[in-house]
Amino acid sequence: MRSRCKCGMILVTVIERKLMNIAVVFQTRSGNTKIVADAIASALGVEAKSVTEPYEGADLLFIGGGVYGLDVDPTMKTFLDALNAKTTKRIVAFSTTGMTKSAVKKIMKAAKLKKIPVDKKDHLVIKLGFDHKSKPQETHKQQAVAWAESVVASLDATPTLVATA
């Protein structure tokens, strides 16, 4: 993390996460959910991966996608079907959408079916309206990052300050 103090010097803060394996996985058709997933992943120090890429599990899985006809994309369904509680220890759901919560609901339902812990209250829905052309803005990315960081903090995986130069 870089910040500038009043004297103009750049302060570099080194943070260290507790040993929690975090994954950020997204499904997208027009790029909206990838924009949000990338912002979350970057803030958490990992790389966002598509649902179509190999996934081996995580202590904490952020999984998000778009909504299409009140449903999720088939590639998301395939990903959710393949999840298991032995390799994925906890799920948090996010979505970009015109308006409805269909994707987060389907993700949370899948988690429940697989007996993977998921906090139904703790999900993120970024509503972009029904023109289907709006893109996530900087404020949406900031909202997503704040949400993701609060999720991690609530699981007691708060970054630990190890050095400030």
Q: Which residues bind ligand FMN (CB under 6 A)?
A: 28-33, 66-70, 96-100, 128, 132
Written as six digits, the tokens of 133 are: 């052309």
**What is the helix (H) or strand (E) element at residue 49, kind and residue range?**
strand 48-50
Residue number with CB closer to ligand FMN (13 or 130): 130
Closest separation in Å from C-beta 34 to ligand FMN: 6
> Which of these, 56, 123, 67, lies nearest to 92 by C-alpha position?
123
Closest separation in Å from C-beta 113 to ligand FMN: 22
Residue number with CB closer to ligand FMN (56 or 138): 138
Report the C-alpha gap between 77 and 14 in whole angstroms: 38
Report the C-alpha gap between 58 and 137 in whole angstroms: 28
Residue number with CB closer to ligand FMN (8 or 139): 139
Closest separation in Å from C-beta 72 to ligand FMN: 9
Closest separation in Å from C-beta 48 to ligand FMN: 12
Chain residue at closest Cβ approach to ligand FMN: 66
- 14 close to 154: Cβ distance less than 8 angstroms: no
Residue number with CB closer to ligand FMN (109 or 114): 109
Closest separation in Å from C-beta 92 to ligand FMN: 17
Residue number with CB closer to ligand FMN (112 or 132): 132
- 112 close to 105: Cβ distance less than 8 angstroms: no
**Phi/psi of residue 157, each to 5°?**
-115, 35
- 158 SS3 class: coil
